[in-house]
């Protein structure tokens, strides 16, 4: 297909502002007369708050908000799921601290320093309770309960054995399936807690308005959900709550939910009757959220010919102190598992357990990298035990065209209509030289190289033919200005991946307008229709899907006005971009001589008082197409120091039409770095005696790989499969989360191919590699 702007590498709309340091992030917001807020956070993992003495702080001129000052509303900060499937267990400030670093009291003052000093003058009397820090002991009958009761939708429910929620799914008859198997492989995998490590920590600025409302500038992936939740918690009509859309300094999922400091900031501002700004420190942030860890037990049965006949997966997730999105996570993990291979008959059991740790939430992949690590390690183990080629074994069993894909758990499913799995596996194998890959037992010497493959996917959004447990639609407003330029108003947050540019390109393509004549408008919740959230890799497919839908309506109106001017039937008109003259025209089909520029149409429509050529609408996507990826990664293991290097990586993706090809490559390469971190470096470990993080919240001891650890750019190859998603805007699907999902699995498989040691846990640190090599190679299990 040939496009005017889709698929072209063009400068980012926010590029100049970002490079010049002029882009406005929440932390740049300064409002006249504002105070600065800080939080006092619990030093204990589990403690009842008996009393709070704020006198000294108030004597210093500070405004203090305690748990007694916040509305008695129990909510869940993530409102992506429908209300009856949403577990609620938290208040703005708790009466009982459930993890070290949980905010308990908030203080605002004229300067941040004064606020901080006032915060230190507050005396909190705690009754320390026994903490639950070990997943294995959390469900013991004697374990201290984190909650007696919580809410599911409107129902109060009792919490037993610290089990936050669970999901059990059976498809077919797994027992009968396993009975047919010639070979059964069972293993347990463990994936750690890691920190999102997004560049920007969280900011909230809240200005109380004279009409009793509030204006909020905050770090978020969803302005509309923040607006609705603040309205609900503080009892303010939505027409008086405005949340501004600003740039975000990365998120990796950590701002899908309303960030914990946002309602705290609002509470401070309402009490102070003045604007308040809060910027969390890095340690506040590390103590605020983490990726869901997972323990996964997987059993798979295969026949001699390589056909999979049954599978059984049991997942335990240590979710920490609150449910942000544990229940949908368990469903999604079931879906990622169900959609990787045709298990035929299978069982799934997922359990989320409360512990006195930092609450876990979505982080790039939302359970998918965890499931992928288990399944893709498992596929290699089976292939080796049964003598199958790992690539062919995958090709024989993968879920592809015409199969059902679970885009967001068991209630959001659609049929796969585009799929590049075979193309990517064949191409990747060729590019890495798969045919010459030698088994680990033929390798010796200090430095050993290995090649690993893994494949994965993510959903593109959470739409589907039927409404499911999650809300998914988006809105847009588009108008043609009187000189033929175009304004696009979209509530969809661009998390840095180029969603904004994609929206501009879609509009430019539909209206045949040059890219530089379409701009994104600054918007907020008052000026836009609803968008659920930039999560689930839905920005392009769903967000720009709505933009495409509205752009078509604008086009219809444009042709209608042009038809009046040209005295032609609009159906007989079409749009074209005249490159030589750099103008966009409406002309009679097949007869370019009869034409008028878009700018002239818009200007005449104004002069004749016909109105603005504009449209506003919403769209729900009726599918959740998978964007597939494959990773072929080469590692070099130094068997004397245990250090793993990545000399070569081949990153393949099937995103449908890559609307921003440079940014798709950027997502793949950036995710290689994050995947290396997940495989080799990262874990937020706890001191089980104190409940504190071993890194104490400091990035000094929470290392992630940087550009120094990456392969040289010439050693990274990116390949796009040639697919077209019929339901996506100009054939596009997503990429963001998919890009990460099989990186760690491919690294672990490559390490096995290098040294013959199978790691069942990440991170695979040099310390663990040396220990395993000394122990003769058995690790885990």
Partner 1 sequence: METNTKILAAEFQYLEGQDLDQVLAWLAEYREKARILAGGTDLLVKMKLGHVQPEYIIYIKKIAALNYIQYDTGNLKIGATTTLSQIERHETIKGYYSALYEAVRSMAAVAVKNMGTIGGNLGNASPAADTAPPLLVYDASLKIASKEGVREIPITEYFVGPGKSVLAPNELLLEISIPEIEADTGSSFLKLGRVAADIAKINVAVCLKRSGRTCTSCRIAFGSVAPIPMRVREAESLLEGKELTEDLITLAARAGAAEIKPITDNRSTREYRLKVSRVILEEALRAAWQRAGGAL
- The site for partner 1 (CB under 8 A) is made up of 38, 41-43, 100-101, 112-113, 116-117, 120, 279, 281-284, 287, 640-643, 681, 694-695, 697-698, 700-701, 703-706, 708-709, 766-767, 770-771
In this structure, the number of other CB atoms found within 10 A of the CB of residue 128 comes to 12
Of the pair 200, 654, the CB lying nearest partner 1 is at 200
Hey, what are 138's tokens?
A: 């959390």
Q: Smallest gap, in angstroms, from Cβ of residue 616 to partner 1?
A: 41
Of the pair 99, 620, the CB lying nearest partner 1 is at 99
Q: Residue 391 class from Cβ within 10 Å (0-12 exposed, 13-18 middle, 19+ buried)?
A: buried
Q: Smallest gap, in angstroms, from Cβ of residue 698 to partner 1?
A: 7
Q: Smallest gap, in angstroms, from Cβ of residue 275 to partner 1?
A: 19
Q: Are 511 and 486 in contact (CB under 8 A)?
A: yes
Of the pair 658, 705, the CB lying nearest partner 1 is at 705
Rounded Cα gap, residues 429 and 422, in angstroms: 11
For tokens 């339901």, what's the residue?
A: 727
For tokens 């009509």, what's the residue?
A: 237
Rounded Cα gap, residues 346 and 337, in angstroms: 10
Of the pair 40, 746, the CB lying nearest partner 1 is at 40
Rounded Cα gap, residues 235 and 606, in angstroms: 42
Please name every residue paired with 300 in a beta bridge, in sequence order, or none if there are none.
Answer: 185, 311
| 613-619: strand order across its sheet | 518-520, 486-489, 474-480, 613-619
Of the pair 30, 607, the CB lying nearest partner 1 is at 30
Hey, what are 540's tokens?
A: 């392009």
Q: Smallest gap, in angstroms, from Cβ of residue 36 to partner 1?
A: 10
Q: Smallest gap, in angstroms, from Cβ of residue 706 to partner 1?
A: 6
Of the pair 448, 538, the CB lying nearest partner 1 is at 448
Rounded Cα gap, residues 474 and 496, in angstroms: 19
For tokens 């900011």, what's the residue?
A: 203
Hey, what are 523's tokens?
A: 């918007």
Of the pair 166, 283, the CB lying nearest partner 1 is at 283
Q: Smallest gap, in angstroms, from Cβ of residue 759 to partner 1?
A: 16
Q: Are 129 and 144 in contact (CB under 8 A)?
A: yes
Q: Smallest gap, in angstroms, from Cβ of residue 708 to partner 1?
A: 3
| Backbone Cα Rg of the chain | 27
- The C-alpha angle 19, 23, 27, rounded to 5 degrees, equals 125
Of the pair 599, 675, the CB lying nearest partner 1 is at 675
Q: Residue 141 class from Cβ within 10 Å (0-12 exposed, 13-18 middle, 19+ buried)?
A: exposed
Q: Smallest gap, in angstroms, from Cβ of residue 773 to partner 1?
A: 10
Of the pair 43, 467, the CB lying nearest partner 1 is at 43
Rounded Cα gap, residues 161 and 135, in angstroms: 11
Q: Smallest gap, in angstroms, from Cβ of residue 197 to partner 1?
A: 12
Q: Smallest gap, in angstroms, from Cβ of residue 694 to partner 1?
A: 6
* CA dihedral sign, ordered 561, 562, 563, 566: positive
Of the pair 120, 156, the CB lying nearest partner 1 is at 120
Q: Smallest gap, in angstroms, from Cβ of residue 41 to partner 1?
A: 4
Of the pair 84, 767, the CB lying nearest partner 1 is at 767
Of the pair 74, 710, the CB lying nearest partner 1 is at 710
Of residues 228, 226, 252, the one with CA closest to residue 239: 228
Hey, what are 519's tokens?
A: 């701009």
Of the pair 358, 508, the CB lying nearest partner 1 is at 358
Q: Smallest gap, in angstroms, from Cβ of residue 83 to partner 1?
A: 33
In this structure, the number of other CB atoms found within 10 A of the CB of residue 275 comes to 24
Rounded Cα gap, residues 404 and 417, in angstroms: 10
Rounded Cα gap, residues 715 and 233, in angstroms: 51
Please, how many CA atoms are within 13 Å of residue 676, restricted to the half-sphere of its CB? 25
Q: Which residues lie below 8 Å from residue 77, measured CB to CB, with a gap of 6+?
A: 90, 229, 257, 258, 259, 260, 324
Of the pair 447, 608, the CB lying nearest partner 1 is at 447
Q: Smallest gap, in angstroms, from Cβ of residue 576 to partner 1?
A: 51
Q: Smallest gap, in angstroms, from Cβ of residue 416 to partner 1?
A: 39
Q: Are 353 and 319 in contact (CB under 8 A)?
A: yes
Q: Are 336 and 227 in contact (CB under 8 A)?
A: no
Of the pair 176, 199, the CB lying nearest partner 1 is at 199
Rounded Cα gap, residues 775 and 6, in angstroms: 54
Please state whether the peptide bond connecting residue 763 to the residue before it is cis, i.e. omega within 30 degrees of 0: yes
Q: Residue 644 class from Cβ within 10 Å (0-12 exposed, 13-18 middle, 19+ buried)?
A: buried
Of the pair 161, 771, the CB lying nearest partner 1 is at 771
Q: Smallest gap, in angstroms, from Cβ of residue 640 to partner 1?
A: 5
Strand 644-654 and strand 716-720: pairing? Answer: parallel
What Å distances lie between residue 100 and 47, 687, 692, CA to CA?
10, 11, 6
DSSP 400-415: -TTSEEESBTBT-EEE
Q: Smallest gap, in angstroms, from Cβ of residue 56 to partner 1?
A: 15
Helix and strand element counts for the chain (H, E): 19, 33
């Amino acid at each position: 297909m040939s496009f005017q702007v889709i698929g072209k590498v063009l400068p980012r709309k926010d590029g100049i502002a970002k490079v010049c340091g002029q882009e406005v992030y929440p932390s740049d917001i300064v409002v006249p007369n504002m105070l600065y807020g800080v939080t006092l956070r619990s030093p204990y993992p589990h403690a009842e708050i008996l009393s709070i003495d704020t006198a000294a702080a108030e004597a210093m001129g500070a405004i203090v908000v305690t748990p007694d000052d916040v509305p008695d509303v129990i909510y869940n900060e993530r409102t992506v799921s429908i209300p009856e499937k949403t577990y609620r267990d938290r208040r703005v400030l708790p009466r009982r601290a459930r993890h070290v670093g949980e905010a308990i009291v908030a203080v605002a003052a004229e300067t941040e320093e004064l606020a901080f000093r006032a915060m230190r003058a507050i005396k909190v009397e705690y009754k320390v309770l026994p903490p639950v820090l070990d997943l294995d002991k959390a469900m013991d009958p004697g374990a201290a309960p984190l909650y007696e009761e919580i809410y599911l939708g409107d129902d109060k429910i009792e919490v037993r054995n610290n089990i936050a929620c669970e999901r059990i799914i059976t498809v077919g008859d797994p027992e009968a399936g396993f009975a047919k198997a010639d070979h059964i492989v069972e293993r347990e995998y463990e994936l750690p807690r890691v920190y999102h490590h997004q560049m920007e920590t969280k900011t909230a600025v809240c200005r109380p308005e004279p009409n009793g409302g509030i204006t909020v500038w905050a770090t978020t992936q969803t302005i509309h959900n923040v607006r609705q939740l603040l309205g609900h918690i503080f009892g303010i009509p939505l027409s008086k709550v405005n949340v501004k859309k600003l740039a975000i300094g990365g998120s990796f999922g950590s701002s899908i939910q309303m960030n914990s400091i946002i309602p705290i900031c609002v509470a401070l501002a309402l009490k102070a009757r003045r604007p308040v700004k809060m910027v969390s420190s890095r340690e506040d942030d590390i103590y605020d959220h983490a990726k869901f860890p997972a323990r996964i037990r997987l059993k798979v049965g295969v026949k001699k010919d390589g056909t999979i006949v049954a599978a059984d997966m049991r997942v335990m997730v240590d979710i920490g102190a609150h449910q942000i999105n544990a229940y949908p996570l368990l469903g999604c993990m079931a879906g990622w598992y169900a959609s990787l291979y045709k298990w035929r008959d299978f069982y799934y059991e997922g359990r989320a357990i409360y512990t006195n740790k930092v609450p876990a939430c979505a982080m790039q992949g939302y359970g998918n990298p965890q499931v992928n690590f288990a399944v893709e390690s498992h596929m290699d183990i089976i292939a080796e035990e049964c003598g199958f080629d790992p690539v062919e074994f995958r090709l024989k069993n993968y879920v592809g065209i015409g199969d059902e894909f679970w885009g967001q758990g068991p209630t959001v499913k659609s049929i796969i209509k585009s799929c590049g799995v075979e193309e990517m596996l064949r191409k990747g194998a060729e590019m890495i030289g798969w045919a010459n890959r030698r088994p680990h037992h033929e390798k010796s010497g200090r430095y050993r190289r290995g090649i690993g493959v893994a494949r994965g996917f993510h959903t593109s959004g959470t739409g589907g033919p039927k409404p499911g447990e999650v809300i998914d639609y988006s809105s847009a407003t588009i108008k043609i200005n009187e000189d033929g330029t175009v304004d696009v108003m979209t509530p969809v947050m661009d998390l840095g991946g180029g969603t904004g540019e994609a929206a501009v390109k879609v509009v430019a393509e539909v209206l045949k307008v040059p890219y530089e004549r379409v701009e994104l408008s600054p918007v907020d919740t008052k000026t836009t229709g609803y968008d659920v959230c930039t999560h689930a890799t839905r920005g392009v497919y769903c967000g720009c899907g709505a933009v495409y839908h509205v752009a078509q309506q604008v086009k219809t109106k444009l042709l209608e006005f042009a038809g009046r001017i040209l005295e032609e039937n609009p159906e007989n008109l079409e749009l074209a971009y005249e490159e030589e003259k750099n103008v966009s025209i409406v002309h009679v089909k097949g007869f370019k001589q009869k034409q008028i520029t878009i700018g002239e149409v818009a200007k005449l429509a104004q002069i004749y008082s016909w109105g603005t050529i504009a449209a506003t609408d919403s769209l729900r996507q009726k599918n959740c197409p998978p964007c597939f990826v494959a990773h072929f990664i080469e590692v070099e293991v130094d068997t004397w120091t245990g250090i793993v290097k990545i000399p070569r990586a081949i990153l393949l993706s099937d995103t449908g039409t890559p609307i921003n090809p440079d940014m798709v490559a950027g997502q793949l390469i950036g995710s290689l770095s994050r995947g290396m971190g997940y495989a080799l470096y990262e874990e937020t470990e706890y001191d089980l005696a104190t409940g504190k993080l071993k890194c104490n919240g400091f990035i000094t001891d929470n290392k992630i790989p940087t550009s120094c650890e990456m392969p040289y750019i010439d050693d990274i190859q990116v390949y796009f499969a040639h697919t077209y998603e019929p339901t996506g805007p100009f054939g596009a699907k997503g990429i963001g989360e998919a890009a990460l999902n099989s990186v760690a699995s491919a690294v672990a498989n490559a390490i096995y191919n290098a040294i013959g040691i199978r790691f069942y846990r990440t991170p695979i640190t040099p310390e663990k590699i040396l220990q395993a090599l000394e122990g003769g190679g058995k690790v885990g299990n």
